[in-house]
Amino acid sequence: MRLNAYLARSGVASRRRADELIKAGRVRVNGEPGRLDTFVGETDMVEVDGANVAPQRLAYVLLHKPPGVVTTARDPQGRPTVVGLVGHPLRVVPVGRLDAETTGALLLTNDGALAHRLAHPRYGVEKVYVAQVEGEPSRAALSRLAEGVELEDGVTAPAKVRRLGPSRVELVLHEGRKRQVRLMCEAVGNPVRSLHRSVYAGLGLEGLAPGEWRELTEAEVKALRGLTRSARAHS
């Protein structure tokens, strides 16, 4: 495991902050100064400022994100964060992002390797959104959403779309562009009024009220790993 990943798994700091600690000479591996390209094995001893550190157990948390909470560990503006809301004893961070006003399923973990795969476009992790929009989308608008919409960074991939009500639409995406659902709906003339992610990577919110969270089961973690393995095998 690379040294910065080891420090992140130990709850010392994020990988970026860990790089800064390494560059500052505050990290030693087996008594020698650590380097950015240092790899750490099971028997190696790692110290930060003279104190031994060791990886924490892996943790996986599903949060029902409420509105007004930002998807970060810290916020310069002092807004509530998802990490503060969860308050897990281990250092877990969000996988991907939801806008502050978007609600719904959000995964947090300290498993950096799995988080990277889930967030990477090549794995096409499924995300289900329910959007309350302005006006009543026409059949043509729904077809455009399903077939692909031209955005500034290119045409969106095909999506599953169905009408849930006059102004309520469900979209199933396998991409993760920034503010994608909002931009797509705006592009077809039906801007989003409220947005909720009901499912992420097969994880729904049954039994979780807004603001509540739970640990994933072993079967759910295994399923997440299977998702990324199968996607990699077919890429």
Which residues are marked as active site?
Answer: 99
Give yes or no for a contact between 94 and 83, defined as CB atoms under 8 angstroms apart.
Answer: yes
DSSP state of 230: H
pLDDT at 230: 56
Predicted TM-score (pTM) of the model is 0.81
The mean pLDDT value for 57-62 works out to 94
Left if phi > 0, otherwise alpha if psi is -120 to 50, otherwise beta: which for 29? beta
Please say if the pLDDT value at position 222 is more than 60.
yes
Classify domain 60-121+203-233 at the CATH topology level: Alpha-Beta Plaits (3.30.70)
CA 14 to chain centre: 15
Domains 60-121+203-233 and 126-200 share a fold: yes
Q: What percent of the chain has pLDDT over 70?
A: 97
Alpha-carbon gap, residue 176 to 93, rounded angstroms: 17
CA atoms of 71 and 116, how far apart (whole Å): 16
Please state the domain extents for the chain.
Answer: 3-53, 60-121+203-233, 126-200
CB atoms within 10 A of CB 97: 16
More confident residue, 94 or 15: 94
Q: How far apart are CA 29 and CA 45, in angstroms?
A: 6
The CATH code that applies to domain 126-200 is 3.30.70.1560
**Tokens at residue 77, please?**
């503006």
111: which residues sit within 8 A by CB, 6+ positions away? 58, 59, 60
Is the pLDDT confidence value at 148 over 90?
yes
Fold of 3-53: 3.10.290
Evaluate if residue 234 carries a pLDDT over 70: no
Handedness of CA 117, 233, 205, 163 (dihedral sign): positive
